[in-house]
Amino acid sequence: MAHDATIVWFRQDLRLEDNPAFLEAVRRGGPVIPVYVWAPAEEGAWAPGAASRCWLHHSLQRLEGRLEKAGSRLILRRGAAWDELESIARSTRAGALYWNRRYEPEIRRRDDMVKGRAHDLGLAVKDFNGALLVEPWEVTTRQGGPYKVFTPFWKAALDRLAPAEPVTAPRRVPAPESWPRSVRLESLGLAPRPDWAGGIREAWAFGEDAAWDRLETFLDASLDSYCDGRDQPGRDDTSRLSPYLHFGEVGPRQVWHAVQAAAAGRGSNAAKRGAEKFLSELGWREFSYSLLYNFPHLPAEPMQEKFAAFPWKHDAEAQRAWQRGRTGYPVVDAGMRQLWKTGWMHNRVRMIVASMLTKDLLISWQHGAAWFWDTLVDADLANNTQGWQWTAGCGADAAPYFRVFNPVSQGERYDPAGDYIRQWVPELAGLPGQWIHKPWQAPPDTLREAGVCLDDTYPSPIIDHSEARDRALAAFERIT
């Protein structure tokens, strides 16, 4: 039995339950030294954005709390990851360094470097899968290459999928005799100054316990209605687990087993259908990771090469109107304001706003992806890249470019009573459902009674959708 310490390098796996690196470190015997290193410079162009940093602050605080309850600590450092890990390893005479894998290209390069250096220092290094149901290299076509289409990918993944039962964390974590130096969480500068994040704190609870509360609420209240409800932004029928999954406050294996158990326990067809659909959404997450791993250029370049020549426009004013939720299309503005206030946006609305940017306004998907990156609490390089390329029509298995979302009919279909608009665009709340998705067509009396004055209390559309659609299709023809 080993008596030297094991360093557990926490990254996007901010939980103790079913955390393979952490649990293996405990199993190895000897003291366990949990460490988090804030090293944004090592993430290349994709250092966590402002909303993600805010989430990370709270998530680390919760992890610290959980570790302290178990008689342990979270050692916090900032700087180059290897320099910090090396100094901790030397000062504690640690014998091993464990972590859970990440899949972003810059991080993989950094981790390879750390692995080499740690070996040279004589540490036993092990990395684990704490983030995915299947590794991105495990699901391949008959020819051995990666899948580029979701349905066969997920079918092949399901054939080989047998997620291990989640493992519970020990109540006590063995501590070293003396702890290495740690900086204070506040000194990492993750919490925004000045504090603009009240909306995020109001909308979310952070950490592992909150992730479980969220999951259980979803399973109790929404699993049965997920198939029908998941597309309606005015309802609360999706899980909202995305930031917890991104930061690893809950892992997909845990979610998988909890969903299967809930569906089996209820035994109804609705629960079975809901579970299948929900797990296939987790499948999209797996697919996105497979794409990012196998095509690491995707965050910067379109999957379909012809799109590199697409005649995108530069229109700072329109881009700003889109960012601020002032396009004059209520469903778009509602989504962008939900994002700005809470750091999250409903999936259906993400597709609508992304279509508005890339097709109506002809502004490149990279600009949209960058804005989401900064403002989403669930900003995730694999999912965000895939979501943007899908909507822009340039990705693997993407919506075809000629599928231009109509912001009025999408609103009328998925938010028929206008509840979502009333919540996020309160200046339109007095309009009847018939006009709430197209206020510029409402009769003057109706507008007056609702207290809406176009171009004063709410903007007219910044672009005519049907003209924009024709313009988009013409632009597309130039590259085909």
User: Catalytic site residues?
Assistant: 281, 284, 312, 347, 365, 388
204 is a contact residue toward ligand FAD (CB under 6 A): no
CA distance linking residue 313 with residue 358, whole number of Å: 9
Q: Residue 72 or residue 383: which is nearer to ligand FAD going by CB?
A: 383
Beta-sheet strand order (sheet of 32-38) = 75-78, 32-38, 6-10, 96-100, 124-128
Exposure pattern of 51-85 as b/e (b: 16+ CB <10 Å)?
bbbbbbbbbbbbbbebbeebebbbbbbeeebbebb
263: Cα within 13 Å, side-chain hemisphere: 21
* Candidate ranges 39-47, 116-124, 283-291, 446-454; the one touching ligand FAD (CB under 6 A): 283-291
CA distance linking residue 460 with residue 368, whole number of Å: 22
Of positions 6, 12, 242, 364, contacts ligand FAD by CB under 6 A:
242
Lookup: tokens for 426: 């309160």
* C-beta nearest to ligand FAD: residue: 387
Lookup: tokens for 407: 């912001």
Of positions 380, 421, 463, 476, contacts ligand FAD by CB under 6 A:
380
209 is a contact residue toward ligand FAD (CB under 6 A): no
Q: Nearest 5°: phi and psi at 126?
A: -140, 140
Nearest to 299 by CA among 375, 382, 362, 399: 382
Q: Could you tell me if 429 and 449 are in contact, meaning their C-beta atoms sit under 8 angstroms apart?
A: no
Q: Could you tell me if 164 and 256 are in contact, meaning their C-beta atoms sit under 8 angstroms apart?
A: no
Q: Residue 58 or residue 240: which is nearer to ligand FAD going by CB?
A: 240
| Least distance from ligand FAD to the Cβ atom of residue 285, Å | 4
| Least distance from ligand FAD to the Cβ atom of residue 204, Å | 12
| Least distance from ligand FAD to the Cβ atom of residue 240, Å | 4
398 is a contact residue toward ligand FAD (CB under 6 A): no
Number of residues near ligand FAD (by CB under 6 A): 28
Helix (H) or strand (E) holding 107: helix 105-120
236 is a contact residue toward ligand FAD (CB under 6 A): no
Angle at alpha carbon of residue 293, lines to 289 and 294, rounded to 5°:
115
CA distance linking residue 147 with residue 294, whole number of Å: 9
Q: Could you tell me if 278 and 226 are in contact, meaning their C-beta atoms sit under 8 angstroms apart?
A: yes
101 is a contact residue toward ligand FAD (CB under 6 A): no
Scanning 121-170, the segments in alpha helix (DSSP H) are 150-160
359 is a contact residue toward ligand FAD (CB under 6 A): no
Q: Could you tell me if 336 and 466 are in contact, meaning their C-beta atoms sit under 8 angstroms apart?
A: no
* Candidate ranges 16-24, 91-99, 187-195, 370-378; the one touching ligand FAD (CB under 6 A): 370-378
Reduce the DSSP state of residue 283 to 3 states and report it. helix
| Least distance from ligand FAD to the Cβ atom of residue 239, Å | 3
Q: Residue 285 or residue 465: which is nearer to ligand FAD going by CB?
A: 285
50 is a contact residue toward ligand FAD (CB under 6 A): no
| Least distance from ligand FAD to the Cβ atom of residue 271, Å | 15
| Least distance from ligand FAD to the Cβ atom of residue 346, Å | 6
Please report the sign of the dihedral spanned by the C-alpha atoms of residue 102, residue 106, residue 110, residue 115: positive
336 is a contact residue toward ligand FAD (CB under 6 A): no
Of positions 46, 55, 256, 284, contacts ligand FAD by CB under 6 A:
284
CA distance linking residue 433 with residue 419, whole number of Å: 9
Q: Residue 19 or residue 383: which is nearer to ligand FAD going by CB?
A: 383
* Candidate ranges 7-15, 138-146, 257-265, 349-357; the one touching ligand FAD (CB under 6 A): 349-357
| Least distance from ligand FAD to the Cβ atom of residue 348, Å | 8
Residues of this chain, 52-91, that bind ligand FAD according to CB under 6 A: none
Q: Residue 209 or residue 281: which is nearer to ligand FAD going by CB?
A: 281
Site residues (vs ligand FAD, CB under 6 A): 230, 238-242, 245-246, 281-282, 284-285, 288, 347, 350-351, 354, 372, 376, 378-380, 383-384, 386-388, 391
